[in-house]
Amino acid sequence: MTLSISQPHILIIEDDFASRALLVSYFENEGYRVSETDHGESLVQRVLDEDITLVLLDINLPGKDGLSLTRELRTHSKVGIILVTSKGDEIDRIVGLELGADDYVTKPFNPRELLVRAKNLLWRVTDQANPEAHSHRSELIHFEGWTLDCSRRLLTSPDASSERLPEGEFKLFHALISRRGQVLSRDQLMDAIHDREWTPNDRSIDVLIGRLRRKLNDNPLNPHFILTAHGAGYMYAGEVN
């Protein structure tokens, strides 16, 4: 198979040889450029040097674990990050999202589901890296002195300080602000950010809400923008210009 140099470049970091080989074969058969490794040493430099577009990162690695690597990557790069976790790693999944991972899959995973998630994330990453390709779709949401630039996931405060929101935070906030005054259940919000159903022991939504409130200077004890509807979900209650 002849691969175009313009194809997205995926790096698979997995210390289990069988799992890594399966993933490499699967993505190569789909026509992607794929690199692989069993450790995360010098990962940031490799991502920058090799023009990596997406990293599939196992959390439980020898040496530097996936969470430490996620923190390092997000500090230096906007590369897409999908964490691969075990069923019992709920806290690690939440921490991974807090550190800036874009998505996660749980072992044992369905390769087709992982492929769909990877394709969706690759589309967003490559689209954002090419401003001309989506400049006509630029959307600015103004609310009470704040601005959300949807094409860049950029949140700008009334004092003009800006911060790029991770994928999960952006999709969650966009879902809420787009439906001002409407209570969205955790099922609806989980579907908006991860295309999956919420389960009672999954704290991902609550963690992301907490992060958004901090960035919006929204007092969690008496919030102004994002209200909690106890037993029902969350609602955006601020003004939208």
State how far the Cα of 123 lies from the Cα of 119, in Å rounded to an integer: 6
Q: For the chain, what is the mean pLDDT?
A: 84
Domain residue extents for the chain: 9-129, 136-236
27 vs 194 pLDDT, higher one: 27
Predicted confidence at residue 121, as pLDDT, reads: 82
Number of H-type helices and E-type strands within the chain: 9, 11
Lay out the sheet containing 9-13: strands in order across: 33-37, 9-13, 54-58, 80-85, 103-106
9-129: CATH number: 3.40.50.2300
pLDDT of residue 5: 40
pLDDT at 195: 53
Report the percentage of the chain scoring pLDDT > 90: 38
pLDDT digit string (tens) for 46-56? 998 998 999 99
> Tell me, what's the pLDDT at 160?
92
Rounded CA separation 117/176 (Å): 22
What per-residue confidence (pLDDT) applies to 134? 42
pLDDT in tens, 78-131: 899 999 887 666 788 888 888 888 888 888 888 888 888 888 788 767 655 554
Report the pLDDT value the prediction gives residue 176, as an integer from 0 to 100.
Answer: 95
Architecture of 136-236 per CATH?
Orthogonal Bundle (1.10)
pLDDT digits (tens, 9 = 90+) for 211-228: 999 999 999 899 999 999
pLDDT at site 186 = 84
Whole-structure pTM value:
0.58
